[in-house]
Chain A
């Protein structure tokens, strides 16, 4: 089958693929968010029929804001369908396709997340009709911050689409551009969704305790801001890949750039959601026990900071892949090795990031149920989070081994696939145990809130449970080692 390829055709092919991906994924988030808003609007109207008209207005406003990320995705799609990017050189096919990936996935998290503040604002208005306009303001504030990742994704999509790369070879610069799109696209999911969850709980808290409006708004904004950090890391990596991506290099350089994008892109999902869940727990805690307002901020920040360790590991692997000249042979084995390093770290960080966030959420709520027991809950939370990060550490270990290993065997397809399979094994293998360990530690923190004197026993039980739950991560690590060293 002969396919005649000229620049214009190739670029158009990339454009149209990107347009489809952008609108396809971008439609998911906004629709889900708006659906939830509509559902809760009906609940509220059902509870207070007389207020149907203000509730409908609030619902439409909330849905309009949640629509924003969908509109961004539509805009990028239309530009990709009708624009002419062939003047940007043959690299433009990777750039336009990557722009589509970036905006499509980036709109996903923010769309879903923007639904939470609106739904809680409506349900809260039904509980406390006197609040009226205040709830709408809080809703808009909560929704605004969680749109930030979608805006980052839009910025990167525009940078990609209008990047003039004429005269450059497709590889490795094209790999940098695809990596940038993956990094920002996936990286925006967790922060958008998590930030939205935090905003939602804050609105619910304001409905329950209207006089706590000011501390809740502060806590929500700080919590959401910290939850945006993983998306900011992803933005950083994407900008670096676009502006200082290497223009000459071997097969290895392409793999390194793709791996860097995958590592931070996936790695940011877990921590973004985890930090958002922590902020959610902190908001719920203050609304139940308003005396803990001052210390809850510190507690939440500590929990979020430790919960960001997996995404920091992912960022480190990304930066190392981008800047270090590796001593591995530039064959298909080396290509798969660097790609596998990114996959291993990126995926393994998802579970631990979310699990740590779950633990910190539970710890915040435990402090609310027992404010004097704070000094006992903090070590339990930190140890639980630390042990729960072990799958991410295994991912980091495998990534290091893949990046700095010596590949002296012949460069055959089985050898390359073995290395890639090692990365897949450790990457996916880190997700489940990370989440499971987080659930265990969360329950331990909650129990420590009720029974602070049993702290030692709870710590030991939690550690035993976490150690057993990590067995499957250890199996995955062993399989990864077998695939790298024995085969």
Chain B
């Protein structure tokens, strides 16, 4: 109980830089990546007209996100689709992986969610500049009155903060609640239901919300 918030770390000192890496988060993220690489290799190994279960799961995921991306962005090329779908897959399994014993969610660490939030932000604003040209992009910050500019800038930054902290808060919060409740009821009866709610249900929804919001922020910049 006393080690809520404790995070095992690797600490190096290289060339005068003090580098701190969160061991558990990195290993779990690698496990998630390995899972998806394995899944995609197996699912696309021999594609048939009558698909096997792995292939149909893959088809459902791809088709859902393709529709959502086409709906929001209206483009027919696959550039954004690959990025968006990857974010969803990564976060979905990251949130679910906590159910397996001895594994924990990498999204419990603010670094994971914040870094992908920043990546989404960079993609959105880079696309905005590319599609609208830099003058129009900068002028948009001055709407509707010039004095709103600092507030618009802070508003954009707060979007990154809000999506990252939302996912982090939900997942870390779920794990803390499960830890404390298990301690109180001596791990009888209640924990599996809590894992089901926080892990499966909340994990899926929050992954969807994060991805949907990234998609929508890109679409707001492009249009």
Contacts and interface: CB of A to CB of B under 8 A. Distances in A.
Interface of A: 236, 240, 302, 305-306, 309, 312-313, 315-316, 319-320, 323-325, 379, 382-383, 386-387, 389-390, 393-394, 396-397, 455-456, 459-460, 463-464, 467, 470-471, 474-475, 477-478
Residues of A contacting B: mostly: helix
A24 to B, nearest CB: 33
Contacts of A306: 205, 209
B4 A386 contact: no
Given A240-B180, A396-B165, A463-B220, 6 more contacts: A305-B197, A316-B173, A383-B209, A383-B212, A387-B213, A394-B162
A240 B4 contact: no
Contacts of B155: 467, 470-471, 474
B43 interface: no
B139 to A, nearest CB: 16
B212 A379 contact: yes
Contacts of A323: 1-2, 4, 180
Contacts, number: 101
B205 A393 contact: no
A389 B166 contact: yes
B175 to A, nearest CB: 10
Contacts of A455: 71
Given A319-B176, A319-B177, A474-B158, A312 B219 contact: no
A278 to B, nearest CB: 15
A455 B216 CA distance: 12
Contacts of B205: 302, 305-306, 382
B7 interface: no
A379 B68 contact: yes
Interface of B: 1-2, 4-5, 68, 71-72, 74, 151, 154-155, 158, 161-163, 165-166, 169-170, 172-174, 176-177, 180-181, 184, 197, 201-202, 205, 208-209, 212-213, 216, 219-220, 223
B169 A313 contact: yes
Nearest to A383: B212
Contact of B201 (A305, A320, A393, A477): A305
Contacts of B68: 379
B75 to A, nearest CB: 13
From B68, B166, B212, residue with most partner A Cβ within 10 Å: B166
A474 B154 contact: yes
Given A306-B209, A379-B212, A396 B169 contact: yes
From A393, A463, A464, A475, residue with most partner B Cβ within 10 Å: A393
B165 A397 contact: yes
B20 to A, nearest CB: 16
Contacts of A319: 4, 176-177, 180
A313 B72 contact: no
A316 B169 contact: yes
Given A306-B205, A382-B209, A393-B165, A459 B72 contact: yes
Contact of A305 (B2, B202, B213): B202
Contacts of A456: 71-72, 74, 219
B154 to A, nearest CB: 6
A430 to B, nearest CB: 12
Nearest to A457: B223
Contacts of B181: 236
A460 B155 CA distance: 16
A352 B152 CA distance: 21
A240 B205 CA distance: 30
Given A324-B4, A386-B213, A393-B166, A312 B158 contact: no
A65 B84 CA distance: 53
A312 B174 contact: yes
A29 B205 CA distance: 36
Given A305-B201, A393-B161, A320 B177 contact: no
Nearest to B180: A319
Contacts of B162: 387, 389-390, 393-394
Contacts of B74: 456
A464 B201 CA distance: 29
Contacts of A471: 151, 155
